[in-house]
Amino acid sequence: MRGVLLAIVLGVSLSAYDAAHLQKALEDKECIGCDLRGADLSKNDFSGADFHGSDLSNADLHESLFEMGDLNDCNLSGANVEKALFWKGTMKHSDLSHIRARGANFKGTNLSGSNLSFSDFRGTKSWKANFTNALFNKTDFSDAELGDAKFIHNDLRSSKLTKTLLWRTHFSDVMMTKAQCAHAKKEEALLGANVMCY
Amino acid sequence: MKKLLVLIVFMSSLLHAAAIQSDKEFQQAVAKMGKDNKLVLMIYTTDDCPECAYMKHKVFHDKTVAPFLNSHFIVMEKNVHRNQLPDGFDYFGIPTMFFIDKTGTKKETIVGSKRAREFLSELHRIRGIK
């Protein structure tokens, strides 16, 4: 009985979005500093929308478009963004931990200073994305495309870079494993200053 | 009325076909084919597109891709910022690759980059539907 109650309480807290905020997001295609926890924003066109400072934790954004969108300072932890497009958007200083992003496209997106720990970036396309000062802890980039992306001041040692495309990917002031460094060189990545291979 | 509608559809299809067929680069690509039954691979690019550079400099020249690509396709490039684009070949993302037969009929479209192995597999598939 306690278990059921706990599950109900947790369920409510995970999807306790503000209905008025959800309506605003869907109608105006923008919502600044909104409570959209667990909200369903999937398969929508939010191109150019401004969601900065919003709580989108555990929200469903799969297959939505956020081209040139502003998702700075957002909480997207645990969100489902599979097959969503974030082309040339900004997601600076956002919490993307535990995010499910398989097949999503972050081409030209600025993710500097964001937390991507425990996130699933398998098969994503992040050409020319900026990961400066981003936090990686067991982030899975298997089969992802990171060509011409920028990694500055990161620790990638616990992350997976299996079969990751790293053509002309820029690394500087980065900590990587020896295997990651070897893979990066094979992929013709650009290893700049202070790339430490452990 | 029905005849007029059919005529309009027929005329618009002629205009559509004429658009790519009047493109100089397309004409040159078709001329290069000679009697071979190749397809034109028209890739849309921009200067500031690493995915385009990857396809052009890496994948198209990959040792597993190049022989098949050169045997069955003629590659032509259109920079979407500098070149006039033919009617009926709209794009959503860059790079976009159109596969076109010598009559100007679009057979297939690929959006985005592909790794060499995956791209080769796509070329085989597209060659198959030719």
The distance of Cα B107 from the centroid of its chain, to the nearest Å, equals 8
- Contacts with B53 from chain A: Cβ below 8 Å: 168
* 3-state DSSP of B25-39: HHHHHHHHHCCCCCE
Instruction: Output the pLDDT for position A15.
Output: 65
Asked if B58 has any chain A CB less than 8 Å from its own CB, the reply is yes
Q: Are B113 and A168 inside 8 Å of each other by CB?
A: no
- Contacts with A107 from chain B: Cβ below 8 Å: 51
A152/B35: higher pLDDT: A152
Q: Contact at 8 Å (CB) between A110 and A130? A: yes
Instruction: Output the pLDDT for position B128.
Output: 85
Q: List, for residues A74-121, the tens digit of each pLDDT value.
A: 999 999 999 999 999 999 999 999 999 999 999 999 999 999 999 999
Q: Are strands B39-45 and B73-79 parallel, antiparallel or unpaired?
A: parallel
Per DSSP, B59 falls in state I
Specify the amino acid at residue B18: A
When pLDDT is cut at 50, 70 and 90, the band that residue A17 belongs to is very high
Q: Tell me which H or E stretch contains B5.
A: helix B2-21
Q: List, for residues B41-66, the tens digit of each pLDDT value.
A: 999 999 999 999 999 999 999 999 99
Average pLDDT (A16-34) is 94
Minimal-distance CA residue of chain B relative to A168: B50
Average pLDDT (A60-76) is 98
Q: Are A125 and B112 inside 8 Å of each other by CB?
A: yes
- Is there a cis peptide before residue B95, judged by omega within 30 degrees of 0? yes
Distance CA B58, CA A167 (A): 9
Is the backbone of residue A140 left (phi > 0), alpha (psi -120 to 50) or beta?
Answer: beta
Judge: domain B2-127, CATH 3.40.50.720. Answer: no
Q: Are strands A150-155 and B39-45 parallel, antiparallel or unpaired?
A: unpaired
Task: Per-residue pLDDT tens, chain B, 130 aa: give them.
Answer: 455 544 444 444 444 434 788 888 888 888 888 888 899 999 999 999 999 999 999 999 999 999 999 999 999 999 999 998 998 899 988 999 999 999 899 999 999 999 999 999 999 999 986 4
Asked if B117 has any chain A CB less than 8 Å from its own CB, the reply is no
Specify the amino acid at residue A30: E
Distance from CA of B95 to the nearest CA of A (A): 12
- Contacts with A164 from chain B: Cβ below 8 Å: none
Mutate to test the interface with B, among A124, A125, A145, A166 (most CBs of B within 10 A): A145
Mutate to test the interface with B, among A109, A148, A150 (most CBs of B within 10 A): A148
Q: Contact at 8 Å (CB) between A195 and A176? A: yes
Distance CA A119, CA A99 (A): 5
Is the confidence at residue A3, as pLDDT, over 80?
A: no
Minimal-distance CA residue of chain B relative to A85: B93
Q: Which domains are present in chain A?
A: 1-198 (2.160.20.80)
Q: Are strands B106-111 and A190-191 parallel, antiparallel or unpaired?
A: unpaired
Minimal-distance CA residue of chain B relative to A126: B51
The distance of Cα B85 from the centroid of its chain, to the nearest Å, equals 12
* ipTM, 2 dp: 0.81
Distance CA A104, CA A153 (A): 24
Closest Cα partner for B56 from B75, B36, B29? B75
- A26: which 2 tokens? 């869907």
Every domain of chain B and the residues it spans: 2-127
**In chain B, what are the helix, strand and coil shares in percent, each to the nearest 5?**
45, 20, 35
Distance CA A29, CA A118 (A): 29
Instruction: Output the pLDDT for position B11.
Output: 46
Mean pLDDT of chain A: 94
Mutate to test the interface with A, among B96, B113, B117, B119 (most CBs of A within 10 A): B113
